[in-house]
Each structure stands twice: as structure tokens, then as C-alpha cells.
Structure 1
Amino acid sequence: WRHKVLDGTKKQYGILKKLMRDSNVDEVICATDAGREGELIFRLVYEQAGCKKPMKRLWISSMEEQAIKDGFASLKDGSCYDSLYQSALCRAKADWLVGINASRLFSVLYNQNLKVGRVQTPTLAMIVDRNQKIKEFTKEKYYMAHIKFDDMDAVTEHFQKKEDADRVAADCMERMCEVEKDDVKEKTVRPPKLYDLTTLQREANRMFGYTAQQTLDAVQEMYEQKLVTYPRTDSQYLTDEMEESTETLIQMLLGKMPYAEGLEYQSDVSKVLNSKKVSDHHAIIPTMEVAKADIGELKERSRKILYLISARVLTATADPYIYESHKCQITCNYHTFYLSAKKTKQEGFKSIENKLKQFFGVKSEKEEPELDIWDGKHYGPCDSFVSEHFTQPPKQYTEDTLLSAMERAGNEELTEDTEKKGLGTPATRAAIIEKLIQSGFVKREKKNLVPTDDGNVLITVLPDEIKSPKMTAEWEMALNHIAQNTETADEFLNGITELMQELVARY
């Protein structure tokens, strides 16, 4: 395996090489991003320059001055990160092996330039597959009869024929109805967890329509401005020793954030602390630098995302949302109607979420009505009418739903506690989506991601191993094992080489 310095970075590489070889320099510190790819960039330069000097590693999650000083005070020997480097090198070699062999194989086979990528192709396959399901879907019409009294709107089961629904509605017009059965359950919704990169990208797409790349760029910029912690994280927790600093942060946010005015709220920081669930980096949170910052000076996109991240620190440490769920069965002139309603007992974190949505002018999703309904009570006389509906096809992927599907790809049968599998890493998912669009395989239609003709053709001709997210998800897990030193790089690469040999032989 040999490497070549890119033309665009030759000048900077030359400066680094000269410094590394300078007799005044007796040790080198790796201070690149504290993650797999950051490690790779440093090591490639170190190796390419033929540097043999002792090496230390700076590992930080925040660009605040204090965090950087603390990091320098606790530098580790570079060799502690050798296995992380091995996993990064494996990732690069695997991508190259699959890309070069599969792209050439299928381009020659079908006599057109087909780009096949290890993570891109299964992602494209999911988009194509969803699009196909939507095309093949045949919608069917159905009808429902309603009875309405004040805020209560109860419906029948689905009727295929309109006249059946009309008959029920006619029978119930101006009649009284009775609540026959009311199944009441008290439900508790726990506060959401803090943001990792993927959940933040999904939320920003849902609320503001930002693409995954736009969100990553904005958070990266704020990280460099010291306003938020390291963005490319897959953890939704903070470490146990961050309790005090998080309390202080919350008090600052309550005073600084415009949507937090008049909030009644008790924080419970213990909900977000769990050192066992933090590997390289903790969840994304604002830093204390926000206290001094003029938020109005930020770009609009950065400002909105900073508000999201800040609000999540508050919601994650707030009380749960508690409500009564009512599933009612209502009888009117011998016909049965159904109604779902709820009654809030404790607003909890929802009050912060609602304030944030109001602040942004974002409409809340339609929820069940808040009603006071009692078993055995009579209501009426009722209005009645018939509504017409169609069965709904699956929805096209948006960045929100695609990121979620990429994160879960290949692990349908896994529980929350198993190791992370999925397509790509939080750091690379945005770039994969962008690359599919640049390569002309996917296009954006409003918020939706839809395959192009080229995208459909590519997925049609490729074999299952290369399209299946399962293989790539297993690779991600193997790369984690290499980083944790429980699997060797050779075992992994031999498996990939065998796969490519078998594929080329078969075709």
C-alpha cells in the first residue's frame, strides 16, 4: 500500500515534513480531531514524512481554553491509539478495495461508468427500494362515519362502501350517545436524551429542513468558535464528573436563552450522566463561552441550531411528561364509535419543547385531543357526517428518516444496548448523502430524497452482498473491534479480499 500527497495539500505537507524533521523538534503531538479519521490524517503525514520522533496524543471534546489546557496537562503516549489508527487504516483500505474492484467489474460488465462504494451503495439501495414500494402501491378508498359533540369527534371502523357509512351517519344524526367503555392508562414519557450528531441532524431536518451536511457544517463552525463541544459524537450522555459544570451551564442557559423566559423548571442532571455510555466523546452541549457570546451576531442557521442544542440540555434534565390515555368505545343508536383522548397530569419537559416550537413558529404534530370524558356518561345530541380517506403508501425518505434508517441499518433484531452497527458513522453520514446527490444517483425533491434513473439502474444490476446494509454494518462493528483491540486488522482485510475475489470470479 503506497500513498501519494495530493496536489492541493502539497504545500502544507511540505511545511509539516520540514518541521517534523527539524533538529530543534524532539517530539510531535497529534492534535487532530479526537476520532478515527483524525487519527488517520495525522499518522499518514507522520509515516509519509518518515518521522521517527516520540509522539503524544491530545484528546479533547471542547475547544474552550480550559479544556485545551487540561488536555495538554494529560497527554497520552501516541502508542495508546495504535489500534484506533489500525481501524482507520482498515477502513481506508477496505473502501479502496471494494471501490476499485467493484466499480471496474460492473463498469466493464455493463459497459458504462458505474461507481460502487462500500457505504454509498447500500444507502442508495434503501432509497431505491423505498421508491419502488411507493410506485407499486395501489391506494384504496375507504369511508368513516363520525359523531361530533363539542370537542369530541368519534369515528367508526373503515367501510369500503360509502352507502354503509352514510347509513350509520343517518342513524345517529341528532341522537344521544353513551361512553360504554373507557380504557384509562397512566403513561409516563421520559425526557429525551441529549443530542449525538445523528439525532441533532434529524431534529434540524425535521424542524427547519436543514440537510445533514448543513447541520454538521454549522456545528463544526460553532465548535471552532468554542460555543459547543465536539460534534462528531455518537454518545447521548455526559461523564459522571461533569455534574457540577452541567448545573452551572443550565443556570446560564436559563438566563441567556430567549425561549426560556418564565420557565418553571427543576433540573435533574443525574439523568444525563453515564460514563459507561461515553466512549471517545460525550453528547453535544453548549459551552460556558455562550455566556459571553453575542448570539444575535451568529449566522441564522448556527443560531437556530445553538438554540436546539441548548433546549435539549434543559429538556433532557427536566421532569417526565405524565398523562392519562383514554381509549373510548361510544355507542350511538346501536352503532359503535371509537375515540382516543388524553389528559395531561404533568407537563414536564413538554413545556420547554412547546416554548421552543412557539419561539420558532413551528407547528406541533397533531396530537390526541385533551378531553374530559367519563365512563357511562351520555353526550349529545350529536352531529354526524362521513369522511373519505385513502390508504397511504410508504413515505419517501427525508434526511431525517434516512439518517435514522442508516443508523439502524442491518440491526433490525438488536436492542438498544448492543454495539452500534449501521451504515457509516455519525461523522460520515452527511457526506455519503451529499456524494450520492453529486454523483447523480439521488436528487432532492423538496425535503424528499428520490433516486434518479442512474440510481435505479445501478441498484438493479448490483448483487445483494454489495447492496445489503448488513455487510457494511458488520464491517463497522469489526472496525470498532479493531479499535478496541479485540480483532486484528489482518483478519478483517483478508475477509474483504476473499469477498472481492469471489465476486470477480462469479461475474
Structure 2
Amino acid sequence: MKLVIAEKPSVAQSIAAVIGAAVKKDGYMQGNDYLVTWCVGHLVELASADSYNEKYAKWQYEDLPILPSDWKYVTSKGKEKQMKIIGELMKRTEVTELVAATDAGREGELIFRLVYEKLSCKKPVKRLWISSMEESSIDEGFRNLRNGSDYELLYQSALCRAKADWIVGINATRLFSVLYGQTLNVGRVMSPTLAMMVEREENISAFRVKPFYTVQLDLSGFIVSGEKLQDRKEAETLQNACDGQNVTIETVERKEKSEKPPKLYDLTTLQREANRQLGFTAEQTLEYVQSLYEKKLVTYPRTDSRYLTEDMKDSVPAVVETIAGFFSLQNPPVNMAQVIDNSKVSDHHAIIPTRSVKGCDIHSLPFGEQETLMLIVLRLVCAVGESCHYAETVITAKCNGVVFNAKGKTTLDNGWKAAEILYFARKKEQTQEEKDTALPPVDQGEVFSAKATIKEGKTSPPKHFTDDTLLSAMENANNAMEDTERKGIGTPATRAGILEKLIKTGLAERKGEKKTKHFIPTQKGTSLITVLPEAIKSVQLTAEWEEQLKQIEHGTLSPLIFLDGISHMTKDLVSTYEIIKGTDILFSSKTQSIGQCPRCKGSVVENKKGFCCENRDCGFALWKESKFFTAKKKTLTKTIATDLLKKGRASLTGCYSEKTGKTYDAIIILDDTGGQYVNFKMDFPAKKEARNK
């Protein structure tokens, strides 16, 4: 019997339906000599710092760096039941082989292998590696299961990524939080991404708007423009010199050009397009396309490839024929050669619709999924289409010895853009082609009478980052040209989460209206980047780390060498970093701190429910409705909380005794052991004094 372990319950159900495991049990399905169960995302994760030593529950500079030599793993909170079910299934004597059916990628491999290792399973493993949840794809995948050992390097790469994030995140976050007295979340990829945001905002702030002036000549049917001038008086002089004067056409150049179809989507380009066209965040697009994948409507989404493989050339045209109907296109051209390149496909090919879209009522899908699917459908139709052909005309003219220009564009054959035009028509939006203007036919030597005007403009500052442009910057951290190798930070699967974590931790925010929302670093985020050393915020260094993770996956770099480098950098950071003077102003907080957190040295602030550490990962909190106080018919006030944080103790008068019904006075002592809840002890100095007399 084979035990199949999927990543999610919905995926497990799809697999079970294909392989005949139809009997539902508690936490798994059974049938046809198969057991099918599932993880719930990450069932096993790297243990917290305090699992290595209880003293790490409190954040102290003296304890840094924390560098585990023997890594520990724990079952994720709330997922213990499913972990137990998997463990029991693995131990069954009739189970002779496991099938890893988690998502076919780096994170999916990690999810399965951590469960396998945590449960100390030794049974042989096969790997299901598919790019679609269609029944035919699942069926073919099970007929061609691969050896689990083939993915050992992928697992090592994923594990190194997780450990590197742990080392940098735990140590750097604690270091800077302790030194600067408030929670400052630092991450291996998160901090360089924030640094790019801060740099962009600095460039915007430093930008000084400059006016410029362009003299334009209206030649009764088209306009020619002169060069941009910085001086208005110079522009006025030129305007006066040309107004009402003869203008001679010097040259008329007409060139026919073509524009090749766009490439297919990988996850990042899909997220960018969805942000531009629809205003979806990267996280939203990932959720929508993942749901479409699980509904068997698109192929595997977490891919970094924009091409298909040779074995797909015969199956894709049928899909194109089906989806062309979405745009009322008849007999669309299908040039498969321009979308196939085996050398540019690693784990998974580009994202395309599956054959299941044929029977799909697209309007029954939730709005976000509907729009995302339409983008993927449109891109496939365009990518296999013919080039767009157009004529570009450039006219130069002279007036009083000064050269003026005009440029026009006329579409000759829409080619692949025909589908795009229909898509935008459906959305009642203009395409760029509809905005382009054609020039009227004119001849060299023709003379016109000019009406001169001045068009005033202003130089534009750099634009704030959007999900679209920030994803692009993360993907191309080394600013490579289109035909050279790009080096990015993060992966297609993790970038969306990084952007959301920047917002969640208060280091950045999204601002804007309607579709266009910008990433703006907060005052706290800007201050953090100001004090971070280059090693932590360097985009280039982080991109090199990502390249090293790829090298581990390909077997050209040892995991030990990679982690030694991360550990060495962390040791240097802790031992050499010196607090920057004058940062009290940088890290001033609008929320008044009532004291220092005894665990992480961050700030404790008041909210509706209690007095909590600003660091959400720390967990320290003094709850106003704590049973310790309510049982005594007392309230945990701000004064009491302040005394507990400052002195470790506070006086409490008139405490009610549930046993006697009487009241008494006591000293409340803070007894925090770093657990989920803060504990208290009581001291009775009055009784001690009485005994001493």
C-alpha cells in the first residue's frame, strides 16, 4: 500500500479521486491500495530560539548571536492532530512506500521532507511532479513517479533558505530592537526590499521640479514640436519668430516595423500585470491563481519560467482554439515555436490555461479569479499569435533655421494585438494603439503657414513603488539587461509575502486610491534603514545569496559553506556594530511607551485590552482583564503596569479574598518566565513585619 501526502486537503481530494481512494476517513482517504492524506501548509517548522535555551525567551544583547549547531524542529501550533494522523499512517505495516505529492517546488519539497524527517520515517519515497491538477496530468504523474532522492538537492536548498532566514531574522531583529529600544523587524530579503523603497523616497524628496517650454507649430492638420527649452524668454522669442511664418518640410521618413508577441506569464510577470491592469496586490494575485490551479483551470503558478516544453506543442493549440472564443476570435494563428524552449524551463513551464477551461463558466468564478484567469487566457492567445505590423512616420520641418519634429504611427496589421484590443473593449478601456495618432500624407519640400504656441511642462520626479514596479526591482536586483541573466531577491513564491510582512510590521504602508496604490516606507522603516549596516540591507549581497541557493540546488555549492557564510556575517554584525548616536529622534514614537519589555527590551504600549510589547513576535502582554487581578476585584491600571515594568513589583491595596470574603494589601511581583502568559507572585510585607516583632 502507498501513502500519498499532499500539501492541502483540496489537492488531496483531487488526487484521491483520480487514483481511486474514495473512502473518507478522519484526516485521510483510502481505497485502491492507496492512503491519501495531507499537510496543512507547513506542518513542521524550525523551533523558536527559546527551545534551545530558556534564557532566549528574553531578548538580551549578551545572548547574541544565537547560532544553533543542532537544529530543532517543532509541529506548528494548531496542527498537532493532522501531524499525529500522518505519523500513524506512516507506521502502518501495510504501507510500504510514500508518495510526496506536495506542490512541485522548493517550498513544497520542504513541507514534505520536514514532516518525513520529524517523524523519523525510513520508508522509500516516490515524488509526484506535475504542473497541472487536471485528471489526465495527475494520472500521468502517477504512472511516471520519480525517485524521491532525485530532489535531495532541492530540499537542501529549501532548508538552507529557511535556516538563513532564521539566523538573520532572529539575530538582527533582536540586536537592533535591544539597541534602539523598540521592535525593529529585520529580514534577509525584507530589509533590502525596504532599503529600495527608502532610497526611492529619498530620490523623490531630493527631486526639484524644473519647468521646460516647447514651441509647437500648428500646420493645419498636424503639429510639429521643437526642442525642450529651459528659458521661457528663449521660448517666447522663438514663438514670435515662427508665428505666421512659412514652415518647410525637410524630410519625411516612413518605416515599417513589427512588434513580436509578448512572452507567457511566470508568476512575477502575472502579478505585475494584475497590479497594473486590475490593482490587485501581489498577494491577492497569488491567492487567485493558486485557487485557479486547484480548480484545474491553470497550470502550476509558482514558476519562474516564461516558456513551454517541446512535449506540449501538440496539446496547446486545442487550448488556444477554445480560449479564442472568449474574445470572439475565429481561427487564431498558433505559432508554437515562439513559446517553446526547453533550455529556459527548469522545474515548471509558464502559466497557461488548461483544457478544463473548455467546460468552465468563467462568470461563476469569484471576481478576482475571473479577472486573473482572463489575463492568463489573453496572454496565451497573444503569445502564440503573429507579430503586429505598423508604419512609423517621422517628419522634420524648418522654420527660420530651427528644426521641428513630428512622429506618427499607423497600424498595418494588429496581429497578436487583435485579442488585446477586444479584451480592452470588453473592459471599455482604450489601448495604446487607439491613443496613437497617424500623420497626414505630406511631401518633402511642402510649405505650410505656422501658428506658434508654447506648451509648458515640468520635469517629473521618480515614481513611488507599486506592487508592479517593486516586484520588478526585486526580480532584477542586478539591473540586468533583457538578454542577460537577472539576479533577484526572494523567489516568485515568497515575494508577495515579503511585501505584506513589511506592512504588517509597520515598516511600510500602501497609500493611494482606486487601482493605483503606492508603497511608502513609514518613519520607522526609514529610520531602520538609516541605522542598518550595508551587509543587512544590500540588495546585491542578498541577490548573491539567492544565486548560492540555486547553486546548492544544482549541486555546485555545499550547504555547509553557504550557512557558514551566513553565520560568519551574523557574528561580525553582532561583534562590530555600534549604536548610532542621535537616534532618539529617529525612533521617536507617537505611541507613548510605559516601559521596557522584560523579554526583548522593546517598548510596551497601552491598547484597549492591555499593555503589550510593540514587537508582535515577542508576545509579552499584561492584560487588563487578567484573572489574577479580576479575581481580587482589582483592575490592572497603567500605574500598576508601569511599576511592574520599572521596578518588577507594585503595591495593591484592598484585594478581595475569595476564601474569606475580606480584603487585604499585598505587593504584586512580576514573575515572567517567557511563556504564553505572564505570571505574578504575591508578597505580604505587613505580615512579615508582624512576625518580626
1:198 pairs with 2:268: yes
**Equivalent of 1:323 in 367, 371, 390:** 390
Written as runs of structure 1 = structure 2, the 5 A alignment for 1:169-318 is 169-255=239-325, 257=326, 260-262=327-329, 265-318=332-385
The residue number in structure 1 matching 2:208 is: 138
Following superposition, the deviation at residue 460 of structure 1 comes to 0.5
Following superposition, the deviation at residue 334 of structure 1 comes to 3.3
CA distance in 2, matches of 1:178, 1:266: 45
**Equivalent of 1:399 in 464, 467, 482:** 467
Conserved in 1, the CA contact under 8 Å of 2:195 and 2:537? Answer: yes
What SS does the aligned partner of 1:324 have? strand
1:66 pairs with 2:132: no
What SS does the aligned partner of 1:108 have? helix
CA distance in 2, matches of 1:128, 1:286: 38
Amino acid at match of 1:403: L
CA distance in 1, matches of 2:83, 2:428: 48
- What is the percentage of aligned positions where both structures have the same residue? 46
What SS does the aligned partner of 2:452 have? strand
Amino acid at match of 1:438: K
The residue number in structure 2 matching 1:435 is: 501
1:465 pairs with 2:532: no
Amino acid at match of 1:153: I
1:6 pairs with 2:73: no
1:301-330 CA-to-partner distances (Å, cap 9, x unmatched) read 111111111111111011112233333321
1:423 pairs with 2:489: yes
CA distance in 1, matches of 2:292, 2:504: 26
1:483 pairs with 2:547: no
Following superposition, the deviation at residue 434 of structure 1 comes to 0.8
Conserved in 2, the CA contact under 8 Å of 1:252 and 1:291? Answer: yes
The residue number in structure 2 matching 1:98 is: 168
C-alpha change, 1:314 and 1:80, in structure 2 (3 Å) is: same
CA distance in 2, matches of 1:230, 1:273: 17
C-alpha change, 1:153 and 1:466, in structure 2 (3 Å) is: same
The residue number in structure 2 matching 1:32 is: 102
Conserved in 2, the CA contact under 8 Å of 1:205 and 1:212? Answer: yes
1:381 pairs with 2:452: no
1:9-31 CA-to-partner distances (Å, cap 9, x unmatched) read 11111111111112221111100
**Equivalent of 1:53 in 123, 141, 149:** 123
1:12-71 CA-to-partner distances (Å, cap 9, x unmatched) read 111111111122211111000000000001011111111111111100000000000000
**Equivalent of 1:444 in 510, 517, 526:** 510
CA distance in 2, matches of 1:112, 1:463: 18
1:438-482 CA-to-partner distances (Å, cap 9, x unmatched) read 111111112111111011011000011111111111111111111
User: Mind listing any 5+ residue stretches in structure 1 that lack a counterpart?
Assistant: none
1:259-300 CA-to-partner distances (Å, cap 9, x unmatched) read x21457422111111111111111000011111111110111
Give the aligned CA root-mean-square deviation in angstroms. Answer: 1.7
Structure 2-normalised TM-score?
0.70
Give the ranges of 4+ consecutive aligned residues of structure 1 lying more than 4 Å apart after TM superposition. Answer: 365-368
Higher strand share: 2
1:165-216 CA-to-partner distances (Å, cap 9, x unmatched) read 2232233334442221344444322110001011111111111111111111
C-alpha change, 1:360 and 1:263, in structure 2 (3 Å) is: farther
C-alpha change, 1:122 and 1:186, in structure 2 (3 Å) is: same
What SS does the aligned partner of 1:361 have? coil
Conserved in 2, the CA contact under 8 Å of 1:57 and 1:78? Answer: yes
Amino acid at match of 1:297: S
User: Mind listing any 5+ residue stretches in structure 2 that lack a counterpart?
Assistant: 1-70, 578-693
CA distance in 1, matches of 2:218, 2:330: 36
1:62-114 CA-to-partner distances (Å, cap 9, x unmatched) read 00000000000001111111010000000001001111111122222222211
What SS does the aligned partner of 2:404 have? strand
CA distance in 1, matches of 2:107, 2:251: 59
C-alpha change, 1:60 and 1:262, in structure 2 (3 Å) is: closer
Conserved in 2, the CA contact under 8 Å of 1:227 and 1:288? Answer: yes
CA distance in 2, matches of 1:218, 1:150: 51
Amino acid at match of 1:273: I
Conserved in 1, the CA contact under 8 Å of 2:321 and 2:331? Answer: no
Amino acid at match of 2:362: I
1:81 pairs with 2:162: no
What SS does the aligned partner of 1:138 have? coil
Higher helix share: 1
CA distance in 2, matches of 1:278, 1:76: 18
1:326-383 CA-to-partner distances (Å, cap 9, x unmatched) read 3332113433212222233332212222221221223334865222444514253333
The residue number in structure 2 matching 1:339 is: 406
Conserved in 2, the CA contact under 8 Å of 1:327 and 1:340? Answer: yes
Structure 1-normalised TM-score?
0.95
CA distance in 2, matches of 1:158, 1:417: 34
The residue number in structure 2 matching 1:43 is: 113
Following superposition, the deviation at residue 148 of structure 1 comes to 1.8
Conserved in 2, the CA contact under 8 Å of 1:119 and 1:432? Answer: yes
What SS does the aligned partner of 1:380 have? strand
CA distance in 1, matches of 2:264, 2:525: 35
What SS does the aligned partner of 1:244 have? coil
Conserved in 2, the CA contact under 8 Å of 1:176 and 1:378? Answer: no
CA distance in 2, matches of 1:414, 1:328: 31
CA distance in 1, matches of 2:112, 2:154: 12
CA distance in 2, matches of 1:262, 1:41: 43
